């Protein structure tokens, strides 16, 4: 199916909808220049089919001699283009009407409307980038912090692909030795070869572990850390959210239960995108509204990557505090003892006995907020920032493939140590290569491509 689609000439609006200074309509395919000939009139009367590659030309888009817009038309001839096909980009004024009319005109003259991500899909299918690099494109578009953008750019430039290819070459080197012994079984594996194979498999296992060690932090940088603030009424949950946001987002009053609904914001904490949710106080509901608020709060807690549970330093722990401790003790938790500017009455030892991560602060004046930010950072990186060389894995599909490959390499190591038949070891390593190939897109299905590129915007 996709092989047939590659023969079409596609078009789409590549800039965000709405008013703007510039909008872009992009074409890709063998008829791109011929279609541009039919709708573009330049000052020098030359046709786009005669333009040099990587050149820009001022002119007008016309439909039956009626001017649609003044534009700059760019020509990028294949194979030295994004899709490795002939590409035309029409830079017009950024109004929706102008963009729509130009797009409709390209469709009228033979283009097909591009599917989501189809330009990047063509770049992959035509061999310009591998599948891991293609997936990085959408990550760049969606990056919420500089750290997330940095990882995505490294993946687009081939950082992850390079590491996976290194592991793949190491596996193939070992397979060459094993296959030679399979062809000549009477000779067996020489002791020196056995030692070399063991060392080689150990090195591969270490490299896979190094990549996977950054997976948790990488996924959070890509998708964001889902954090829920919870606590009994009036412990300062909304004040804490305001302090982290560094603005008055939530209404704060002395009245317990002011927050009825969840309030959600995305903030950048030391390069980590944090989707933080302030919930209603967990209490015994007095009416239907409070019952729904409590139910929603509990659902948010169940879905959270991390829970921040608040306590009031100026009050002793009560039954509500202890009930909430039981509810969250099996989650990832940072305990926050708030209102340290008040006379302390809380039993700190009882809190630290349950939660290993605890921070003391005063949310209203913003005292020690940096300690909570440090604790969030340490939760993501477990106190140790991965090596930049390996800080590349953020995609769940890649994580699963690397874990499967590591499992098979581990089985091969055990089989080698137990002197099992060489064929078993070789098959493990071949299967491990298959999982690595899935990351790079050396083997793929149409369903997989449809799933990956369905997340892209049309025009990219």
Residue range 162-195, pLDDT digits in tens: 999 999 999 999 998 888 777 665 555 555 577 8
Is the pLDDT assigned to residue 249 strictly greater than 80?
no
Tens-digit pLDDT profile for residues 27-54 = 999 999 999 999 999 988 899 999 999 9
Distance CA 146, CA 272 (A): 9
- Bridge pairing between strands 272-278 and 225-230: parallel
pTM for the structure as a whole: 0.78
State pLDDT tens for residues 376-419: 988 887 765 555 555 668 888 999 999 999 999 999 999 988 88
User: Does residue 117 carry a pLDDT above 50?
Assistant: yes
Q: Is 268 helix (H, G, I), strand (E, B) or coil?
A: strand
Q: What is the pLDDT of residue 253?
A: 44
Which pLDDT belongs to residue 154?
Answer: 86
**Separation between Cα atoms, residue 27 and residue 59, nearest integer Å:** 17
Residue 290 — pLDDT band, cuts 50, 70, 90? low
- 186/177 Cα distance (integer angstroms): 14
* In the chain, domain spans: 2-129, 137-214+395-441, 223-381
Q: Tally Cβ neighbours within 10 Å of residue 254.
A: 6
Class of the domain covering 223-381: alpha beta
Picking from 212-221, 320-329, 351-360, which range would have the lowest pLDDT averaged per residue?
Answer: 212-221
Please give the average per-residue pLDDT across 345-363, as a whole number: 91
- Give the separation between CA 341 and CA 339, rounded to whole angstroms: 5
Residue with the larger pLDDT of the pair 199 and 452: 199
Compute the average pLDDT of residues 237-245: 88
Mean pLDDT confidence for 210-223: 82
Task: Find out whether 267 and 276 touch, Cβ atoms under 8 Å.
Answer: yes
* Token pair listed for 175: 């397979």
Please tell me the predicted confidence (pLDDT) of residue 251.
Answer: 43
| Structure confidence at residue 260 (pLDDT) | 47
Reading phi first (left if > 0) and then psi (alpha if -120 to 50, else beta), residue 387 is in: beta
- Region 57-86 average pLDDT: 95
Name the strand (E) or helix (H) holding 92: strand 87-93
Burial of 446 (0-12, 13-18, 19+ CB in 10 A): exposed
- Residue percentage of the chain with pLDDT more than 90: 49
HEC per residue, 438-450: HHHCCCCCHHHHH
- Output the CA–CA distances (angstroms, integers) from residue 311 to 39, 193, 276, 328, in the order listed: 68, 62, 18, 13
**Which numeric CATH code is attached to 2-129?**
3.30.1360.120
Pairing, β 87-93 against β 66-76: antiparallel
Average pLDDT in the chain: 86
Strand 87-93 vs strand 22-28: parallel, antiparallel, or unpaired?
antiparallel
Return the percent helix, strand and coil in the chain, to nearest 5. 45, 20, 35
Note whether 32 and 9 are within 8 A (CB): yes
pLDDT at 250: 46
CATH class belonging to 137-214+395-441: mainly alpha
Instruction: Place 3 in a pLDDT band, splitting at 50, 70 and 90.
Output: low
Share of the chain above pLDDT 70, in %: 89
Strand partners, 61: 40, 69
Instruction: Considering only the C-alpha atoms of the chain, give the largest distance between any 2 of them, rounded to a whole number of Å.
Output: 85
Residue 305 has pLDDT above 50, yes or no: yes
| Residue 261 pLDDT | 53
Which among 217, 320, 225 has a CA at the least distance from the CA of 269? 225
User: Token pair of 5, please?
Assistant: 């689609």
Nearest to 435 by CA among 399, 397, 404: 404
What pLDDT is attached to residue 391? Answer: 62
Between the CA atoms of 171, 444, 164 and 193, what dihedral angle is there, to the nearest 10 degrees?
A: 0
Query: What DSSP state is assigned to residue 116?
Result: B
> In sequence order, what E strands does 135-194 have?
none
pLDDT of residue 11: 97
**Angle, to 10 degrees, between the axis of helix 288-303 and the axis of helix 319-328?**
40
pLDDT digits (tens, 9 = 90+) for 330-348: 999 999 999 998 888 999 9
Query: Is the per-residue pLDDT at 262 higher than 90?
Result: no
pLDDT at 248 over 80: no
Q: Give the pLDDT band of residue 203 (cuts 50, 70, 90).
A: very high
CA distance 32 to 48: 9
Q: Going edge to edge, which strands form the sheet with 40-42?
A: 40-42, 55-63, 66-76, 87-93, 22-28, 10-13, 112-113
């Amino acid at each position: 199916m996709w092989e047939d689609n590659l023969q079409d000439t596609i078009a789409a609006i590549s800039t965000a909808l709405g008013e703007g200074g510039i909008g872009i309509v992009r074409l890709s395919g063998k008829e791109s220049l011929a279609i541009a000939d039919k709708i573009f009139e330049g000052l020098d009367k030359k046709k786009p089919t005669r333009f040099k590659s990587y050149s820009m030309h001022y002119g007008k888009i016309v439909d039956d001699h009626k001017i649609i817009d003044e534009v700059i038309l760019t020509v990028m001839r294949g194979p030295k283009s994004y899709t490795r096909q002939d590409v035309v980009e029409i830079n017009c004024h950024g109004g929706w009407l102008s963009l729509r009319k130009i797009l409709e005109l390209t469709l009228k003259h033979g283009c097909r409307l591009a599917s989501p991500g189809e330009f990047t899909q063509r770049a992959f299918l035509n061999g310009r980038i591998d599948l891991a690099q293609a997936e990085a494109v959408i990550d760049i578009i969606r990056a919420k912090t500089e750290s997330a953008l940095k990882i995505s750019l490294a993946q687009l430039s081939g950082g992850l692909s390079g590491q996976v290819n290194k592991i793949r070459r190491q596996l193939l080197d070992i397979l060459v030795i094993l296959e030679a012994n399979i062809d000549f079984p009477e000779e067996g594996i020489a002791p020196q070869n056995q030692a070399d194979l063991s060392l080689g498999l150990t090195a591969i296992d270490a490299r896979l572990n190094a990549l996977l060690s950054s997976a948790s932090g990488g996924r959070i940088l890509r998708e964001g850390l889902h954090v829920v603030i919870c606590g009994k009424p009036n412990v300062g949950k909304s004040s804490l959210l305001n302090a982290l946001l560094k603005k008055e987002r939530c209404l704060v009053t002395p009245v317990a239960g002011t927050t009825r609904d969840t309030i959600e914001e995305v903030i950048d904490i030391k390069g980590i995108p944090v989707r933080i949710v302030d919930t209603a106080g967990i209490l015994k509901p007095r009416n239907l509204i409070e019952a729904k608020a409590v139910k929603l709060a509990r659902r948010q807690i169940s879905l959270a990557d991390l829970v921040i549970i608040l306590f009031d330093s100026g009050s002793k722990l009560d039954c509500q505090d202890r009930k909430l401790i039981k509810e969250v003790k099996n989650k990832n938790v940072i305990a926050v003892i708030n209102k340290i500017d008040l006379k302390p009455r809380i039993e700190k030892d009882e809190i630290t006995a349950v939660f290993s991560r605890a921070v003391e602060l005063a949310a209203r004046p913003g005292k020690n907020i940096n300690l909570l930010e440090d604790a969030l950072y340490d939760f993501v990186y477990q106190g140790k920032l991965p090596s930049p060389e390996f800080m590349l894995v953020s995609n769940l599909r890649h994580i699963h493939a690397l874990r499967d490959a590591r499992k098979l390499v581990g089985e091969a190591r055990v089989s080698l140590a137990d002197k099992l038949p060489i064929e078993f070891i070789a098959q493990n390593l071949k299967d491990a290569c298959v999982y690595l190939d899935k990351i790079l897109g050396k083997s793929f299905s149409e369903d997989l491509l449809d799933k990956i590129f369905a997340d892209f915007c049309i025009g990219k």
